[in-house]
Amino acid sequence: MANALLEVYDLTRHFKSKNSIIRAVENVSFSIKRGETLGLVGESGSGKSTVAKLILRLLDITAGRVLYDGADISSMPANKLRPYRRRMQMIPQDPFSSLNPQMSINASIREPLKIHRLGNAREQENKVMEMMEQVGIDPDARFAFPGEFSGGQLQRIGIARALILRPEFIICDEPVSALDVSIQAQILNLLRDLQKEFQLTYLFIAHNLAVVERISDRVAVMYLGHLMEFSDVAAIYEHPLHPYTMALLKSVPRMDVNQKSERFILSGDIPSSSNPPQGCVFNTRCPVKTDICFRRIPGWRQIRDGHWVACHLAKSD
């Protein structure tokens, strides 16, 4: 894809357990353009975080390819992968657990610079203070420890650590899910501002579609390791095609009390990825399923321009 920074083709990850194979991610394909934000949404257990770890090569890939800036990093050896790790970073879901409670904030933010041997001690110190200012944390607090900060402040510190290497691509793994609503808005605004300032590209992972709508350019919907739907934000939120996407959207609180209720309401739990349903993986919970949904796996089809869906029943009108 032209102007794509990241391209993922048929990405697959299986885990072997004692008596079964866990199909965590199955044939996932998408691309992210330079400077855009792709929202990756779905319930817990849908495979979103596994996709992130596969892209960053924190997990081995069972099958498929990951291209970063045109280079295939899928099976690249560690010594050749190192420069790409500087260009790709992650903001974790829980900033407190990702920070060593026995290390000062200064040491935590500075650590990536030391690992990659960038600058001398004074230069590293200056970069830490500069980055703390960028994310709204007083540099004078850099020698404090994680336990002395609030959740919102810790997430800002996590963002500073992710940005200290000046990466191009950042995976935001549920970065606001553990924060109060008012703090969520502040962090989302900060991420948008930083994206403009540093020309960043984001993969934004979340289960809350209201959050994803605020920050994303395009959206990919995952369920049980499979992509269900993919399009730009307006198409996904105004004209969803997959019953699962419709059900997720119905769970988003709306201010319009006169808005009519739809029939796409989720019931039951997401099945086990070690024993997925035959045919469409969503058929056990789909309110509009037919016989074909149990017999055949739906193909990945482009229904409208740039709007892809995996559903036998999806139509353009």
Give the whole-angstrom CA distance, residue 243 versus residue 185. Answer: 29
Q: For 231-272, what is each residue's pLDDT tens digit? A: 999 999 999 999 999 999 987 665 454 555 454 567 778 899
Beta-strand relationship, 63-68 and 71-72: antiparallel
pLDDT for 239: 94
pLDDT for 268: 76
**What residues in the chain have per-residue pLDDT under 70?**
1-2, 252-265, 317
What backbone torsions phi and psi does residue 171 show, to the nearest 5 degrees?
A: -95, 120
Q: For 181-231, what is each residue's pLDDT tens digit? A: 888 999 999 999 999 999 999 999 998 888 999 999 999 999 999 999 999
Paired tokens of 69: 């800036």
The letter for the amino acid at 295 is R
pLDDT for 1: 64
pLDDT for 264: 56
Residue whose entry in the numeric block shows the structure tokens 């357990």: 17
C-beta of residue 6 within 8 angstroms of C-beta of residue 201:
yes
pTM of the model: 0.91
* Topology of domain 4-309, CATH: Rossmann fold (3.40.50)
pLDDT for 290: 95
